[in-house]
Amino acid sequence: MPPAIDRRACLSGLAALALAPMTGPARAQGNAGRSDTLVVMEKGDRALSFYELASGRRTGRVEFPGEYPHEFVVDRAGARAYAALYGAKSSTTPGPGGDSVYVVDLAARSLARTLTCAPFRRLHGIRLDAKDRLFVLSEDRDVLLGFDAPERAERPDRAVATGGLKGHLFSLSRDGETAYVANILSNTVSRVRPFAPAEMPRIAATGLWPEGNALSPDEATLYVANRRSATLTALATEAMTVTRTVPTRGDVVRVDCGPEGDLILANYAEKSLSLLDPALKEMAVVALEGAPVALARHPSSPLAFAALENDRIAIVDLEGRRVQGTLATGREPDVMVVLPG
């Protein structure tokens, strides 16, 4: 049976909040009556699940053959999802990992095909640029792979070295010309140019165990969470120099930057979210019932979603700065994407 909505959380009331017109700059654009879908990677179940936000009902599921698929992205048309097979429970789990990218037909809610990336393995970070070109990070080889037409490709079209060790997550410029890779073992962030292979990676040190990262709306700044330093670093992307470092609540695993430049930090150890303004001032802390491992925003309403280690998703009202409800999921929910209804 599909996981049921937590009735105590009154998610139906939350859905009304999400779909009704809002005041302020984050006001929903014509969302009344629509039923949005939250697509959730459930690592422990090797599946991508679809949840109707208005009811919390699971409406579909795509199962994968490999263990621990992890990060995924959706193309601009909402037609396909691309999921990287990490093949390990976490970044500290030993083993060779996976070497495939699964292509999901979102309309049919089925596995359409598989991209093979061997010998590159432990595929984790994955992004699409504005042209729907696909980029996938191989953690075991420290190489960024590129697919120019991933909907029909058989093999990667390019591979560039990251210049770091254990690249886990990366941010990508909208035009796909520049990637910023957080290397958790070398404690560096590297800038690479996928379409300029002769250009060497540009390296910056931001702190210990950099992982979660996000670009500012103008792409002039990269925000990097350094888990073991308990800091958040602002890195000037052109010069690759640190412009500011502020303390965090410790063990921040993910960073999300909104269209207005505000930030959400996922505080894993503290089981909370920090909401920061563009000046990096903490405006609020939202307590959670479990440790957050991934973040997503609603594209047109002031809502955020935090995947928790207790197999639930917290739905957060960013204006009210509080949890509005929770959604029960399969095992180990992680990356999420909202598909507008």
Residue keyed to tokens 């440790």: 291
pLDDT range class, residue 1, cuts 50, 70, 90? very low
User: Is residue 288 predicted with pLDDT exceeding 50?
Assistant: yes
Q: What is the pLDDT of residue 34?
A: 56
Q: What is the pLDDT of residue 8?
A: 39
Between the alpha carbon of residue 289 and those of residues 37, 131, 256, 310, 326, the distances in Å are 23, 39, 20, 8, 9
Q: Does the pLDDT at position 124 exceed 80?
A: yes
Sheet (strand 333-339) strand order: 58-63, 47-52, 37-42, 333-339
Domain ranges of the chain: 65-197
Token readout for 57 is 């009902």
Encode pLDDT of 302-311 as tens digits.
999 999 999 9
Quick one: which of 336, 321, 240, 302 has its CA closest to 24? 302
Q: Does the pLDDT value for residue 278 go beyond 80?
A: yes
Burial class (CB in 10 A: 0-12, 13-18, 19+), 29: exposed
Strand partners, 102: 83, 114
Tokens read off for 167: 């690249």
- For the domain made up of 65-197, give the CATH fold: Methylamine Dehydrogenase; Chain H (2.130.10)
Residue 85: pLDDT band (50, 70, 90) is very high
Q: What percent of the chain has pLDDT over 70?
A: 90
Average pLDDT in the 326-335 region?
98
Q: What is the pLDDT of residues 11-38, one digit of tens each?
A: 444 444 443 333 332 333 334 335 899 9
| Residue-wise pLDDT tens digits, 71-82 | 999 999 999 999
**230: nearest Cα among 204, 206, 263:** 206
Peptide bond into 119 cis (omega under 30): yes
131 CB neighbour count, 10 Å cutoff = 11
Q: Once rounded to an integer, what is the mean pLDDT over residues 121-138? A: 98
On the CB side of 124, CA atoms within 13 Å amount to 26
**Cα–Cα distance, 153 to 85 (Å, whole number):** 17
Q: β-strand 100-105 against 221-226: which pairing, if any?
A: unpaired
Q: What is the pLDDT of residue 287?
A: 98
Interacting residues of 320 by C-beta distance below 8 A, sequence separation 6+: none
Does the CA dihedral 66-52-309-129 come out positive or negative?
Answer: positive
Mean pLDDT, rounded, of the chain: 91
Mean pLDDT within 77-98: 95
pLDDT tier for residue 270 given thresholds of 50, 70 and 90: very high
Q: Which residue has the higher pLDDT, 328 or 25?
A: 328
d(CA 45, CA 28): 33
Compute, in degrees rounded to 10, the torsion defined by CA atoms 65, 72, 328, 8: -170
| Residue 284, pLDDT score | 98
pLDDT tens digits, one per residue of 186-241: 999 999 999 998 999 999 999 999 999 999 999 999 999 999 999 999 999 999 99
Q: What is the DSSP letter of 95?
A: S
Whole-number pLDDT of residue 107? 97
pLDDT at residue 2 is higher than 90: no
pLDDT at 275: 98
Q: Tell me, what's the pLDDT at 35?
A: 85
Higher pLDDT, 6 or 163: 163
